[in-house]
Amino acid sequence: MTLAALAYPSMLGLTKVTTAQDRVIANTQWGPLTEQDRDFVVKVRAAGLWEYPVGQMGLQKGTTPSVITASKHLVDGHAALDTTCRKIAPMLNITLPNLPSPQQQGFVSQLKADSGRKFDSDFANILRMTHGAIFNTISKIRSTTKNSLVRALADQANDTVLDHMTVMEKTGLVDFDQTIFQQTTPPKLPDSDLTPPPPAAGQPEVVLTPPPNPTSTPVDLSGLTGGGGGTNASPGPSPTAG
């Protein structure tokens, strides 16, 4: 029950994008930007803001080689995703958070309190659930967005999330019955629990630093053109999509 309660909040924060309206909030040179496009960029950023430190935590607290390997993949993958998010956000006039949602912050606190085998088990199961939940969301964004920058981020996120799901499964600690049930039957929580807080005025942007020998790379944005869809694009996004 504790594991379920912990996993649901961050999972909901990610899957919420699937119910966002398709309303276009900005016409850009890379294609129209919808509410769910914007929310997806914010959610990818927020995911890194809690999964990256959890990966660092796993490097210190993990008790098996497979948990250590999974932790390395979290740090590596989310550092690269974060670089892409920070590249495209100003291009699309999207305000990125510097903190994950309140529930995600609580999730990190819970793993900080874990140790030994319990940490390994909670780490593998919760992260497998959250990555499994966002996997379907990425597919929806990738198949429906008309914005080429968002599409490029979705491509990278798809590869990263699939990799992270796989390394969690290779720990041998994932309870698939529980994981799949919780992925497909999330409870409803208030938006305030799921929404990352906006950055404070003048606050420096948090940067997730890549490891010394990264294997994941950010998206190469050179040569990306408009997303199409027959929408006249302005030179940049309008109005503010933050």
Work out the pLDDT band at 221, boundaries 50, 70, 90: confident
Whether residue 35 is predicted with pLDDT greater than 50 in this model: the reply is yes
Task: Report the percent of the chain where pLDDT is more than 90.
Answer: 66
Angle between helices 35-61 and 102-113 (to 10 degrees): 10
The better pLDDT of the pair 239, 80 is held by: 80
Region 158-169: what's the mean pLDDT?
97
Whether residue 61 is predicted with pLDDT greater than 50 in this model: the reply is yes
Please state which of the ranges 35-49, 54-68, 78-92, 216-230 shows the lowest mean pLDDT. 216-230
CA–chain centroid gap for 198, Å, is 16
Task: Provide the pLDDT for residue 104.
Answer: 83
CA–chain centroid gap for 82, Å, is 9
Region 181-200: what's the mean pLDDT?
82
Cα–Cα distance measured from residue 60 to residue 157, given in angstroms and rounded to the nearest whole number: 25
Task: Provide the pLDDT for residue 227.
Answer: 56
Q: What are phi and psi of 34, to 5 degrees?
A: -100, 170
Question: Which sign, positive or negative, has the C-alpha torsion 204, 205, 208, 214?
Answer: negative
Cα–Cα distance measured from residue 47 to residue 213, given in angstroms and rounded to the nearest whole number: 22
Query: Hey, what's the torsion of the CAs at 9, 218, 197, 39, to 10 degrees?
Result: -70
Instruction: Give pTM, 2 decimals.
Output: 0.84
Q: Which of 120-129, 174-183, 186-195 shows the highest mean pLDDT?
A: 120-129
Whether residue 13 is predicted with pLDDT greater than 70 in this model: the reply is no
How many Cα atoms are found within 13 Å in the side-chain-facing hemisphere of 204?
A: 3
| Number of helices followed by number of strands (H, E) in the chain | 8, 2
Q: Cβ–Cβ contacts within 10 Å for residue 116, how many?
A: 10
What kind and span of H or E run contains 119? helix 116-144
Region 208-219: what's the mean pLDDT?
94
Cα–Cα distance measured from residue 216 to residue 84, given in angstroms and rounded to the nearest whole number: 11
Task: Report the percent of the chain where pLDDT is more than 70.
Answer: 83
Q: CA-CA distances (angstroms) from residue 237 to 120, 155, 181, 227?
A: 44, 22, 40, 13
| 3-class SS of residue 26 | strand
Region 50-70: what's the mean pLDDT?
97
- Three-state SS annotation for 4-17: HHHHHHHHHHHHHH
Cα–Cα distance measured from residue 61 to residue 222, given in angstroms and rounded to the nearest whole number: 40
Task: Provide the pLDDT for residue 233.
Answer: 42
Cα–Cα distance measured from residue 168 to residue 132, given in angstroms and rounded to the nearest whole number: 11
Whether residue 69 is predicted with pLDDT greater than 50 in this model: the reply is yes
Predicted confidence (pLDDT) per residue in 94-145, tens digit: 999 999 988 788 889 889 999 999 999 999 999 998 899 889 889 999 999 9
Region 160-170: what's the mean pLDDT?
97
The better pLDDT of the pair 144, 228 is held by: 144
Q: CA-CA distances (angstroms) from residue 5 to 117, 119, 128, 164, 185?
A: 19, 16, 15, 21, 12
Work out the pLDDT band at 26, boundaries 50, 70, 90: very high
